Amino acid sequence: MNEIDDVDVARALSLMSDGALVLDVREDEEWQAGHVPLARHVALSGVPDVVDDLPRDRVVICVCRSGARSARAGRFLLEHGVHAVNLDGGMNAWFAADAPMVSDEGEPYVA
């Protein structure tokens, strides 16, 4: 089994500035509550359906609430030729780091 590399929030932000795609694999309600700006939302169960549409020329940062589901998604993506990494601590860590978030309508997220 492929092991997925974990990245912290600072590294994820750096990767994003270099063009990485954020793939949020949480459920709809979790996504709607707040997510990373410009992230793509695909619930974990839907990842196999979109794997062929994901970029092969840039990093895909997988994210969920705590990092467990996104690690599973990332391992699956690695097995299918996608350069994936996992956000260590997920959106819990993202929120704790006061990193940018938006609501489902794209408005800045305010806790």
* Residue-wise pLDDT tens digits, 92-103: 999 999 999 998
**CA atoms of 65 and 70, how far apart (whole Å):** 8
What is the chain's mean pLDDT, rounded?
Answer: 93
Residue 85 is predicted with a pLDDT of: 98
Q: State whether the Cα torsion 89-14-61-7 is positive or negative.
A: negative
CATH number of 5-96: 3.40.250.10
**Percent of the chain whose predicted confidence (pLDDT) is above 70:** 92
For the stretch 16-68, pLDDT in tens is 999 999 999 999 999 998 999 999 999 999 999 999 999 999 999 999 999 99
Q: Where are the domains of the chain?
A: 5-96
Residues with active-site annotation: 64
Grade residue 87 by pLDDT with cuts at 50, 70 and 90: very high
Q: Which of 104, 107, 92, 82 is nearest to 29 (CA)?
A: 104
